[in-house]
Amino acid sequence: ETGVTQSPTHLIKTRGQQVTLRCSSQSGHNTVSWYQQALGQGPQFIFQYYREEENGRGNFPPRFSGLQFPNYSSELNVNALELDDSALYLCASSLVGGNSPLHFGNGTRLTVT
Amino acid sequence: GENVEQHPSTLSVQEGDSAVIKCTYSDSASNYFPWYKQELGKGPQLIIDIRSNVGEKKDQRIAVTLNKTAKHFSLHITETQPEDSAVYFCAAFNQAGTALIFGKGTTLSVSS
């Protein structure tokens, strides 16, 4: 069973730039969720994708957007980067349906300077 | 919206002792409560979970208890080992069942 994989592991960007983070789901999982984890905090929900459509969104501005592909892999795009966007971005996969266990990747550490 | 509070924020124990971490949640509609362990440089790893139709669940040295009336759930680790040292997070799903709401985490240190 292949777990959730994310790329890249680390990234440094400049304020105002755009970034794309990638995620491959655990085999057999059809739902992908993205979370932002600031240093010393718990993960915060950004959004979830199922059947290539957004299926729920947290309190994040529209410059955070995503995609899910037919093979269930996913991208997180962030435009107009701000210093506060510096965080660990986590991808989690699960089966569709409320309250299914989420399995996380090791994340992408984004630093915005 | 759903809110999850977690205590304590730090916990130091001696190897072999027990450790207990407690969480409360606000949304009475929540019915799934996972616990995650996060080691430095890694993502959260699911270690145990419990659903609202169950009061207690055990997996070797780890157990979770749930009191739906009081909206409390707790993680119990017995016979702690140095490799149990990590940050532990409790969580609960929001009402839609799409988003996990996490507590702020407990840093557990087990000294030998």
For A58, the closest chain B residue by CA position comes to: B99
Residue A21 at interface with chain B, using a CB cutoff of 8 Å: no
For residue A99, what pLDDT band results from cuts at 50, 70 and 90?
confident
- Rounded CA-CA distance B95/B2 in Å is 8
Structure-block tokens of residue A22 = 């990638």
Q: Which DSSP string corresponds to chain B?
A: ---EEEE-SEEEEETT--EEEEEEES-TT--EEEEEEE-TTS--EEEEEEETT-SEEEETTEEEEEETTTTEEEEEE-S--GGG-EEEEEEEE-TTSS-EEE---EEEEEE-
Q: Give the pLDDT score at A54.
A: 94
Cβ-contact A4, A105 below 8 angstroms:
yes
Give the pLDDT confidence of A32-69 residue by residue, as tens digits.
999 999 999 999 999 999 999 999 999 999 999 999 99
Residue B54 at interface with chain A, using a CB cutoff of 8 Å: no
Cβ-contact A47, A58 below 8 angstroms:
yes
Q: Is the Cβ pair B105, A102 closer than 8 Å?
A: no
For residue A1, what pLDDT band results from cuts at 50, 70 and 90?
low
Structure-block tokens of residue B57 = 């669940």
Residue B87 at interface with chain A, using a CB cutoff of 8 Å: no
- A97 pLDDT higher than 70: no
Give the pLDDT confidence of A63-87 residue by residue, as tens digits.
999 999 998 899 999 999 999 999 9
Give the pLDDT confidence of B78-97 residue by residue, as tens digits.
999 999 999 999 999 988 88
> How many residue contacts between A and B have a Cβ separation below 8 Å?
63
Residue B55 at interface with chain A, using a CB cutoff of 8 Å: no
Give the pLDDT confidence of A15-32 residue by residue, as tens digits.
999 999 999 999 888 899
